[in-house]
């Protein structure tokens, strides 16, 4: 695996030359140069070759607003054998992300200001901004609410018990009410445990053929229905993580039609992989919520296209090799995503004209930041530099042994992709692959 220091740098003046600069937010789409001075975009246009700066040749590349992943697991503190904040940030840089939101199922969980500060400090000096998501309940135990006001003072803008749903309707009601006071959002892992306990894959004809315990679609949908009703009742902001079923898309679409404050995300793996892959009993395909059927994947894409689903997020979930290389039923849920997300979406959907490039940028940078209550990122003079550099026509093969993550549990190993991140720029800091 590559070193985090390879390609890292810092410069007072950076010039990106001859790239296609694309930012639909400001109507920008042309081949040009970008000059960054002291971390701020000072000009966009043809520049003199005499400019004294760190020069990045962008010929044939695409420059877009920095990608943001609103759902990752960095595992630190407490599970550093799987991932650390720094190795997770290395994976983010390799995947073209300049910002990530890390989920609170750490040890200790992110339910105190001290843990929030610790995580942020670990990313110091890297061109990736890390935004910890706070717990909804103390210790993620599902008993009493965490001190959400104290976490909000620390800058936390989203709360979740991810890895598990908010345990009861009463707790979810109070969480939505408390979060509304600071404008925060509740990010829900939608699952009804009484329906999903023991399940390892989507409940279907395939699970019967493979002899594996099923995890039914209704186990997700019933929780979403509950939470939408509570969001409507309280006026709080609800975000549904990793939507996986056609029924869930329909519920969210109807809620939006009625003006309820609900948003949603989808993962690259739920868009591209199906439950039939579990025929190999390969635990890299074991994820929560599980891979579903092709009709679900099609409904997810339709929801992404029509705006029912707002964002694309990876649910990057690293696990140590010895944890995954066991019997499928005993293996933990989760797969990697940061380093492959952009390439998978470009290859499967943008290159095939199933998803406009503009919608990709909207779903991977604009909407996730909006949902998280963060300032927008735009490519315009006077804005802080926050850029992703992409080689849209570069062919490459996913190789788990060459990843920057500390873990290797990718389901995309061996996939041939077209389009990959070549670097990021955040202020004066940059990373080039």
Phi-psi label, residue 50: left if phi above 0, alpha if psi -120 to 50, beta otherwise: alpha
**Which structure tokens are listed for 377?**
């990122």
Cβ atoms of 419 and 342 closer than 8 Å: yes
Q: Is the separation of the CB atoms in 428 and 8 below 8 Å? A: no
248 within 8 A of 224, measured Cβ to Cβ: yes
DSSP helix, strand, coil percent of the chain (3-state; round to 5): 35, 25, 40
Domain covering 8-63+382-432, topology:
Urease, subunit C; domain 1 (2.30.40)
pLDDT at residue 5, as a whole number: 63
Spatial CA neighbour of 24 closest among 373, 360, 388, 419:
360
Output the pLDDT for position 47.
85
Q: Where are the domains of the chain?
A: 8-63+382-432, 66-371
Q: Can you give the pLDDT at residue 48?
A: 79
pLDDT of residue 2: 46
As annotated, the active-site residues are 315
Do you find a cis peptide bond into 404, omega within 30 degrees of 0? no
Encoded tokens for 411 = 């389901």
Sign of CA dihedral 333, 281, 191, 91: positive
Distance CA 250, CA 230 (A): 17
User: What does the CA dihedral 104, 106, 111, 116 come to, rounded to 10 degrees?
Assistant: -80
Q: Which residues of the chain, if any, have pLDDT below 70?
A: 1-6, 50-51
Q: What are phi and psi of 193, to 5 degrees?
A: -60, -30
Query: Right CATH number for 66-371 from 3.10.310.10, 3.30.420.10, 3.20.20.140, 3.40.50.720?
Result: 3.20.20.140
Three-state DSSP state, 100: strand
CA torsion angle 13 17 19 22 (round to 10) = 40
Task: Check the CA dihedral 84-85-86-92 and report its sign.
Answer: positive
């Amino acid at each position: 695996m590559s070193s985090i220091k390879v390609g890292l740098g810092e410069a007072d003046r950076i010039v990106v030359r001859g790239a296609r600069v694309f930012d639909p937010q400001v109507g920008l789409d042309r081949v040009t140069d970008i000059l960054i001075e002291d971390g701020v975009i000072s000009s966009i246009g043809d520049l003199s070759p005499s400019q004294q700066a760190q020069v990045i040749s962008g010929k044939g590349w695409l420059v877009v607003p920095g990608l943001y992943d609103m759902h990752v697991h960095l595992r630190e503190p407490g599970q550093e054998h799987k991932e650390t904040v720094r190795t997770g940030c290395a994976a983010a840089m390799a995947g073209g992300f300049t910002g990530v939101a890390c989920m609170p199922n750490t040890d200790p969980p992110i339910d105190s200001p001290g843990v929030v500060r610790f995580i942020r400090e670990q990313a110091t000096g890297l061109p990736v901004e890390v935004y910890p998501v706070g717990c909804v309940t103390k210790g993620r135990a599902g008993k009493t609410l965490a001190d959400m006001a104290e976490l909000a003072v620390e800058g936390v803008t989203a709360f979740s018990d991810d890895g598990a749903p908010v345990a009861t309707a009463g707790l979810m009601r109070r969480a939505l009410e408390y979060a509304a006071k600071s404008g925060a959002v509740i990010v829900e892992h939608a699952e009804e445990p009484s329906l999903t306990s023991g399940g390892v894959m989507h409940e279907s004809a395939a699970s019967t053929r493979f002899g594996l315990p099923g995890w039914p679609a209704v186990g997700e949908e019933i929780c979403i229905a509950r939470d939408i009703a509570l969001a409507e009742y309280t006026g709080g902001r609800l975000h549904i993580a990793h939507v996986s079923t056609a029924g869930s898309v329909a519920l969210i679409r109807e809620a939006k039609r009625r003006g309820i404050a609900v948003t949603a995300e989808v993962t690259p793996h739920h868009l591209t992989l199906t439950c039939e892959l579990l025929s190999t009993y390969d635990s890299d395909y074991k994820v929560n919520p599980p891979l579903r059927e092709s009709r679900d994947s099609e409904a997810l894409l339709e929801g992404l296209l029509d705006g029912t689903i707002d964002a694309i997020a990876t649910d990057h979930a690293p696990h140590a090799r010895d944890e995954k290389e066991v019997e499928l039923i005993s293996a933990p849920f989760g797969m990697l995503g940061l380093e492959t997300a952009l390439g998978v979406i470009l290859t499967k959907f943008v290159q095939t004209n199933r998803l406009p490039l503009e919608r990709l940028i909207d779903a991977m940078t604009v909407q996730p930041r909006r949902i998280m209550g963060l300032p927008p990122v735009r490519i315009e003079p006077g804005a802080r530099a926050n850029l992703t550099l992409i080689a849209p026509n570069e062919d490459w093969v996913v190789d788990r042994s060459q990843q920057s993550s500390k873990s290797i549990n990718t389901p995309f190993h061996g996939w041939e992709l077209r389009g990959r991140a070549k670097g990021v720029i955040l202020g004066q800091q940059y990373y080039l692959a």
